Structure 1
Amino acid sequence: MNAFYFLAGIVFLPFIMALFVPLVYKLLKDKVGWFAAAVAFFCFVLIATIIPKTYAGEVLSGNFSWIPGLSVNLAFYADGLSVLLGVIVSFIGILIFTYSNKYLSKDEDLVRYYEYLLVFMGSMLGVAFSDNLIQLFIFWELTSISSFMLIGYYRKTPESIYGATKALLITGGGGLFMFAGFMILFSVTGTYGISDMLTNPAVIDTVKNSPLFTVILIFILIGAFAKSAQGPFYIWLPNAMEAPTPVSAFLHSATMVKAGVFLVARMHPMFSGTTDWFVLVCGLGLVTMVGAGFLALRQNDLKGILAYSTISQLAYLMTMYGFTTAAEPGIGVSAATFHLLNHATFKACLFLLVGIIAHELHTRDIRKMGGLRKEMPITFILTIIAAAAMAGIPPLNGFLSKELFYESSLHMAEALGGGLAYIIPALAVVGGVFTFAYSFRLILKVFCGKRTTDPDVPQHVHDPSWILLGPAVLLAALIILIGLFPTPFIDYLVQPAINAILQDAPHLHAALWHGITWPFIMTLVTFALGILVYWKYDAIAAWQTQIREKHPKISINRVYNVLVNNAFDFGAELGGMLQKGPPIGYVKSLLIFSITLALIPVLYFLLLGKPIFPETLDFSAIASEVLVFILILLAAWGAASLPKYLSAIISLSACGFFVSLLYAYLKAPDLAMTQLCVETLSTIMFLVVIMKLKNKEAIRPEKTRFKLKNAIIAGACAFVLFMMLAGADLMAPFETFSHYFIENGIEMTAGRNIVNVIVVDFRGYDTIGEISVICIAALAVYNIIKSRTAKQESKPEEKK
């Protein structure tokens, strides 16, 4: 099969199937989630067929010319990295759709829910397989839009609306910066093709030597950081937890938030090996890792803990991809790519389990929980596995990732040299300590001790059905399998992705035991300090709360709220200034602007001492037209001053007919006929309205002073227009392109009336727009008429 159609089928299948969800819902009702799961499974199978090819080092690619004039193609590209993300998205999608069948009640809007999830999955697959920057941006923003819909799924909840709006503004806004970076990158490289840039050393050297290198990098990273909740952009992810738990597990732990990390990995060959890349990616990653891990200690909401842990874990990935020097550009690539897979397994598992716990206890407050290990033993075991993997405890896959992270941080310190460089592995250990502490608390506070006596919290709970437990069991099994037998997963999934990022990359080796090494010692220190931090957990959380209460202004969330609220207030004030109500104010502003604009060229010619009118201007040549102009002026004066409506309308119509006569004299019969038809119709409409009026006399309450002012304004406008038209020949005219229509009109449209051909064919979109405006106006008039009719019909009923 053609590679383009194959990859396009994978990407667009969820979009197409989303259209059939309403129809399938009528057949399956609340079991419609199984249809969505089947779509995800089919996508997974198709992607899985590519794995042998990427394992052998092959690449699938294909493109279709979309907008050739702008170098924009519909292009798809499947290498090891895109296949890895595609496998994660489709496989987690299967589990989420399956889980949702039991998690959501029959009363929920299931059609909307599964439509949005399928659109999101298709958008993420589009991000994974796109080979064109513009195409990537479109799918990128589609993930933000579908995420907005899913976070705001509970439309009547203020928290959901706030979280959805916040996520859209931050991730969508970051995407616009990324788009600007893509535009500048195109100006440097001359192509939007991602593989064209990344596989061409000459293009990479051109970008790195460009004076715009830092600007491009910053703009693209803003988009990546915003999507992956890094640095100051992290604030949207905790509020996104208002979405249903399956959505949080799918979007905000395993897939969407990894889009930013994926972009960093994809652009790694072009920007790595530079100081800018190291400082921005590694530096912000380390700060976010430690900061988010520290803030997680204060959280009491189960999903809040996982939200901050996700931010911290994503920062692990950013930090490792940021490990780079000119001599060794890909120090952390292998560790980061392996952790990309591992994090998806244990974090999605944790979110699904948290959904089960919150569903059973009717609360997400960890302070109201306890003692669940006996009542929910299966959930307890699964939570231990997932949380221990996140904490980096052997023999689970998270331990292997953490060891590789520590090893790459030491390698980075050695490559940089100097004692200060060892701050990097020290901060890595601090991040691991915080991760261990909140993972340990998650297990002990929920499953050990005694539960609160809160009447809203059930005292007797149990493990749910296997539809809810099954996906978590499968993920927990993968956590153990990858930890015990990492080689198959590395060989078929991780190593091809590493090779796609880093040329001549060494083969990744991961094992549970490498002897007594520095990474192993760092792990022991992490466990010891993690237990110490857990011992002081409440004191640290109380200290954070106290600092927040004392200094409420020190908050990125406050900055966001002030900016958004001020934007609304500023918009209201500006709107009040610009739209005061009476149209006379708008007319005056427009008039002043037009006069000023027209006087600029006049003053220019006067200052240069040049004549305003062309020397060839011969007023005698237009004497034959003067009579028509005089008639137009008399008719216009009559329309403005005659006391009776009927005579004023006749004068106005006469003005239009005289203009039509002028068009005919100037040999423009089409315009003359159009003007004649319009004036005839307008006259009839005016007369019909006049017949309905009781008073046939025009009411003119304006004073003479007001009339004189209007006359001066009208005269000034006429004078300025006359000056512009008279001096038009002083400037070099624009090159005409009428010859194009004349030469191609018959061949391309088979039409012989050049005016009609231009309006209908060459300017067809303009005509459609004009027709649309007329249709909208007609609908508005129809609604007004119907509303008046409805009011009249309702009056007798009201009297009754």
Structure 2
Amino acid sequence: MDPFYFIALIVLLPFVMTLAVPLAYKIMKEKVGWFAAAIAAVCFLLIASMIPSIVDGHNLAGAVSWIPGLSVNLAFYADGLAVLLGLIVSFIGILILSYSNKYLSKDEDLVRYYQYLLVFMGSMFGVAFSDNLIQLFIFWELTSISSFMLIGYYRKTKESIYGATKALLITGGAGLFMFIGFMCLFAITGTYGISEMLTNPEMLSAVKDSPLFTVTLILILIGAFAKSAQGPFFIWLPNAMEAPTPVSAFLHSATMVKAGVFLVARLHPMFSGTMDWFVLVAGIGLITMVGAGFLALKQTDLKAILAFSTISQLAYLMTMFGFTTYAEPGIGVPAAVFHLLNHATFKACLFLLVGIIAHELHTRDIRKMGGLRKEMPITFILMVIAAASMAGIPPLNGYLSKELFYESSVHMAEALGGGIAYLIPVLAVLGGVLTFAYSFRLIIKIFLGKRTEDPDVPKHVHDPSWVMLAPPAILAVLIVAIGLVPTPFIDALVQPAINAILPGAEHLHVALWHGFTPAFIMTLITFALGALLYMQYDRIAGWENRFSEKHPKISLNYIYNTMVDNAYKFGATFGKMLQKGSPRRYVGIMLAFIIFMVAIPLGFALLTGQPIFSKELIFKIAASEMILFVLIVLAAWGASVLPRYVPMILASSALGFFVALLYAYLKAPDLAMTQLCVETLSTIMFLLVIMKLRTKEAVRPETGKVRIRNAFIALCCAAALFMLLMGADLFPAFESFSHYFMDKGIELTGGRNIVNVIVVDFRGYDTIGEISVLTIAALTIYNLISSRKKKGKAAAAETGTARGNFVPSCPIPGAPVGGNQVLGHVSCEEVTVETGDDGHKIVVDEKSVNRHLKDEGADLSNGPEAKK
């Protein structure tokens, strides 16, 4: 199969199969997750089939023209890095979708859940295999949108809504900065093709020598850092934990958050080898690694602990990709790529296990846990493997990654010349110490000791079914297998990805024992300091909590909330400033502005003695046109001065019909028909509204001075526009380009209906804009109608006048007591009463009821309750 269509099949299959999820649900019911898992399995097998070609150094690529005028193609590219990310996404997807079959209740909206997950998976495939920056950006934002929908899956909880909105604002907003960075790359290289840039030495040199280098790098890194929760953008990830745990395991630990890391790795050859790259990528990575690890210590929610640990672990990756010098641009690349694989295994495993624990205990508060080792032995073993791997304990794969990280940090310090540069390995060890502490916190606080008595926590729990245990068990097996026998995984997955970033790189050799190297000594220091830190765990966490309570404003979350709240307040204040008057005043201001804009060139022409209009133009107007103009003016004047609504509407309608007649006279029948239809419908609508009003008189509260002012503005604006139109004949008209559409229509579009071709093809963006306006208007009208229905139902419920039969609590004239029943919808205007067995109905209006009640001595002074 052609490489383009083969990769396109992988990317588009999840999107297409979302349409089949509702049908699969009808057949499989709550087991529809297996259908989604099968789709992920097909994608995994298709991606895995590319491994032999990639290992041999044969990358797959293909493209078709999309927007040739803008150099935008629909292009796919599969190298070692793309295949690695694709395998991670699809394999973790299989496990997550299978796990969800038991995690989610059958009462959940399963169709929506699995559709969102499939859309996200397809979006990640698009990010991994895109070979065009614009195409990459589209899939990039699709991951933000699908993540927004998944985080906000529980639509009725404020926390979910807040977390989803926060994630979308930060990741989606930062993506716009990244898009501007892509525009800068295009300005430098003249292409959006990613592989074309990375394989062309001249383009790489042009980027590094460009004065836009630093600006472009910063703009792109803003998008990458926000997506991977680095630097000040990390604050969205903890709140994203409001999503269902399988979603957190899929998106926010193993896949989506790696999109930013992937972009940094993809563009590494273009920006690495510079001090800007090292300072921004490695510097922010080191700070985030230590800061997030420190904040993880005070968390008591299991998913919050994993959220901050994820931020810290992603910072490991960023830091390693940032290790670079001019002589050695890829110091940390091998370690980063290997950790990219390992992190996906142990972090996804941890999230799935936390989901099991929360599912069984009905809580995620770690303070309410303990003693689960005997009750959940399988979960305990799996948790020990995953947490120990994250802590860097041998012989697990996390230990191998940590060793490579320490080794690359020492190498980077030596490359920079030692001295203060040795702060890099010191910070690396500090990050490892914090990781060691919160990793063992998970094991000790959950499974050891004794559980405190809590009425909300079940007294007896057990391991779940194999459906929930199998996915983390598979990941645990991989953790051990990669740790003990890393070579097959490195040869098939890691080394091709390294070669994609650093062509011709040395083969990565990993082993559990390398002797007493600096990295091994750093590991021993990490274990010792980690144990000491754990002994002070509660004291440090308490200090963090006290500091947060004492200084609530020293927080990035506080800054974010303040900015969002102020945006609402600013919008409201600005709106009140602009919209504090009547529409008549707005129209007057706009007309006055038109006069001002026309008066400037007109005054300049008069001062310089230039003609302002053609004297011959007025004599070219035919008598029939002049008659139409006079009728239009009279109709407009009548619409503005008539005192009653109905004559005003008729005068306005006549104005529209006269304009339609003018269009017909000027040989524009399509415009004439449109004008007739619009005028007819608008006249009918106006008359229907007027008929509902109590008074048919027009309300004109303006004083005489205000009317004179408005008339003066109108006359001046009319004179200005008249002069502007009269002066149009002084300049040569633009050459008509209608012949271009007729000459090129069939050749460029294949269409023979010239009107359709112009609207759909040549003016496609204009048409999209018009359709968007109509769509927004339709949605607004729909929401208004829906809100009125809800308001009506709420009002009916409050007053007790909802549909249904009820016995009135007051006597009705002419109706026997005890046999009265009010039928249908009861309003304040009439009451329908059925009396006796003869079916006779009496309709009594509100005034009659009130008069009768008053005659009976009822007190009506306190409103509806008194009437009852």
- TM-score, normalised with respect to structure 1: 0.93
Aligned to 1:408: 408
Cα deviation for residue 637 of structure 1 reads 3.3
3-state SS of the aligned residue for 1:524?
helix
Q: Return the letter of the residue paired with 1:321.
A: F
Q: 1:231 to 1:708 in 2, by over 3 A?
A: same
Distance 1:422 1:647 in 2: 87
Aligned to 1:139: 139
3-state SS of the aligned residue for 1:726?
helix
1:583 aligned to 2:614?
no
Q: 1:595 to 1:550 in 2, by over 3 A?
A: same
1:385 aligned to 2:378?
no
Distance 2:728 2:382 in 1: 81
1:671-693 Cα offsets, whole Å, 9 max, x none, are 56766776678778888999999
Cα deviation for residue 451 of structure 1 reads 0.8
Q: How does 1:212-361 map onto structure 2 within 5 Å? A: 212-361=212-361
Q: 1:272 to 1:750 in 2, by over 3 A?
A: closer
Q: 1:611 to 1:550 in 2, by over 3 A?
A: same
3-state SS of the aligned residue for 1:242?
coil
Q: 1:765 to 1:238 in 2, by over 3 A?
A: closer
Cα deviation for residue 109 of structure 1 reads 1.3
Aligned to 1:77: 77
Query: Contact 1:602/1:612 (CA < 8 Å) preserved in 2?
Result: no
Q: Return the letter of the residue paired with 1:70.
A: L
1:154 aligned to 2:185?
no
Distance 1:782 1:499 in 2: 54
3-state SS of the aligned residue for 1:75?
strand
Q: Return the letter of the residue paired with 2:381.
A: I
Distance 2:86 2:771 in 1: 44
* Structure 2: stretches of 5+ with no match in the other structure: 797-802, 804-823, 834-868
Aligned to 2:40: 40
1:699-752 Cα offsets, whole Å, 9 max, x none, are 76655434323321221111110121122245565443223235456886545x
Cα deviation for residue 480 of structure 1 reads 0.6
1:457 aligned to 2:457?
yes
Q: CA RMSD in A?
A: 3.2
Q: Once the two structures are aligned, what percentage of the paired residues are identical?
A: 73
Aligned to 2:68: 68
Distance 1:583 1:341 in 2: 62
Aligned to 1:613: 612
Aligned to 2:846: none
Q: Return the letter of the residue paired with 1:435.
A: T
Query: Contact 1:224/1:261 (CA < 8 Å) preserved in 2?
Result: yes
Cα deviation for residue 363 of structure 1 reads 1.4
Aligned to 2:825: 794
Cα deviation for residue 771 of structure 1 reads 8.3
Q: Return the letter of the residue paired with 1:40.
A: A
3-state SS of the aligned residue for 1:372?
coil
Distance 1:529 1:245 in 2: 32
Distance 1:598 1:724 in 2: 7
Aligned to 2:19: 19
Aligned to 2:852: none
Aligned to 1:718: 718
Query: Contact 2:47/2:83 (CA < 8 Å) preserved in 1?
Result: yes
Q: Return the letter of the residue paired with 1:196.
A: E
Distance 1:503 1:112 in 2: 43
Distance 2:444 2:31 in 1: 36
3-state SS of the aligned residue for 2:570?
helix
1:436-484 Cα offsets, whole Å, 9 max, x none, are 1111221111111111111222222111111111111111111111011
Cα deviation for residue 600 of structure 1 reads 2.7
Q: 1:265 to 1:629 in 2, by over 3 A?
A: same
3-state SS of the aligned residue for 1:222?
helix
3-state SS of the aligned residue for 1:516?
coil
Q: 1:713 to 1:335 in 2, by over 3 A?
A: same
Q: 1:334 to 1:701 in 2, by over 3 A?
A: closer
3-state SS of the aligned residue for 2:61?
strand
Query: Contact 1:749/1:761 (CA < 8 Å) preserved in 2?
Result: no
Q: How does 1:667-686 map onto structure 2 within 5 Å? A: none
Range with bigger deviation, 772-781 or 367-376: 772-781
Q: Return the letter of the residue paired with 1:190.
A: G
1:351-376 Cα offsets, whole Å, 9 max, x none, are 11111111111111111111111111
Q: 1:725 to 1:798 in 2, by over 3 A?
A: same
Q: 1:227 to 1:745 in 2, by over 3 A?
A: closer
Distance 1:341 1:709 in 2: 75
Divergent runs of 4+, >3 A:
614-707, 729-736, 741-751, 754-800
Q: Return the letter of the residue paired with 2:825.
A: S
Query: Contact 2:614/2:726 (CA < 8 Å) preserved in 1?
Result: no
1:118 aligned to 2:118?
yes
Q: Return the letter of the residue paired with 2:252.
A: H
Cα deviation for residue 795 of structure 1 reads 4.1
Query: Contact 1:274/1:326 (CA < 8 Å) preserved in 2?
Result: yes
Aligned to 2:440: 440
How many residues were matched structurally? 797
1:736-795 Cα offsets, whole Å, 9 max, x none, are 3223235456886545xx779856886577678768978967995999799899999834
Q: How does 1:503-582 map onto structure 2 within 5 Å? A: 503-580=503-580, 582=582
Distance 2:391 2:771 in 1: 63
Aligned to 2:809: none
Range with bigger deviation, 323-332 or 667-676: 667-676
Distance 1:567 1:252 in 2: 28
1:630-650 Cα offsets, whole Å, 9 max, x none, are 454344434444567777667
- TM-score, normalised with respect to structure 2: 0.86
3-state SS of the aligned residue for 1:375?
coil
Cα deviation for residue 43 of structure 1 reads 0.7
3-state SS of the aligned residue for 1:19?
helix
3-state SS of the aligned residue for 2:347?
helix
* Structure 1: stretches of 5+ with no match in the other structure: none
Distance 1:368 1:691 in 2: 67
Cα deviation for residue 388 of structure 1 reads 0.8
1:166 aligned to 2:166?
yes
Q: Return the letter of the residue paired with 1:183.
A: M
Aligned to 2:855: none
Q: Return the letter of the residue paired with 1:269.
A: P
3-state SS of the aligned residue for 2:267?
helix
Distance 1:293 1:145 in 2: 28
Distance 1:175 1:764 in 2: 26
Q: Return the letter of the residue paired with 1:503.
A: P
Distance 1:755 1:379 in 2: 67
Cα deviation for residue 73 of structure 1 reads 1.2
Distance 1:649 1:225 in 2: 59
3-state SS of the aligned residue for 1:373?
coil
Aligned to 2:592: 592
In terms of fraction of residues, the more helix-rich structure is 1
Query: Contact 1:413/1:422 (CA < 8 Å) preserved in 2?
Result: yes
Distance 2:678 2:311 in 1: 64
Aligned to 2:2: 2
Query: Contact 2:370/2:452 (CA < 8 Å) preserved in 1?
Result: yes
Q: Return the letter of the residue paired with 2:603.
A: L
Query: Contact 1:390/1:435 (CA < 8 Å) preserved in 2?
Result: yes
Distance 2:130 2:235 in 1: 28
